[in-house]
Amino acid sequence: MLLQKFIESFNAAVEGFINVLKTERNMKAHFLAALFIILLGIYVNFSLVELMILVLTITLVLIVEMINTALEL
């Protein structure tokens, strides 16, 4: 039962993320920029710690953008 609720919750979060990517122009731009920057970091040969900090920072930006979108609605 607990696992089923966790899976339903995870699925709802993924659906929300996909919905934001489909409907919000700024989120698309943030996501594409994030993908580009991560690939650039790999290409430039960032250390593992630097990549982890980069991914954490990008994740926080995407989360804040989703919160901003929710507040605007």
Cβ atoms 34, 73 nearer than 8 A: no
Tokens 């659906």 sit on residue = 15
Cβ atoms 54, 46 nearer than 8 A: yes
Q: What is the pTM for the complete model shown?
A: 0.77
Q: How does pLDDT run across 42-59, given as a tens digit for each residue?
A: 999 999 999 999 999 999
Q: How does pLDDT run across 4-35, given as a tens digit for each residue?
A: 888 998 899 899 889 888 888 888 899 999 99
Cβ atoms 30, 65 nearer than 8 A: yes
The torsion region of residue 46 among left (phi > 0), alpha (psi -120 to 50) and beta comes to beta
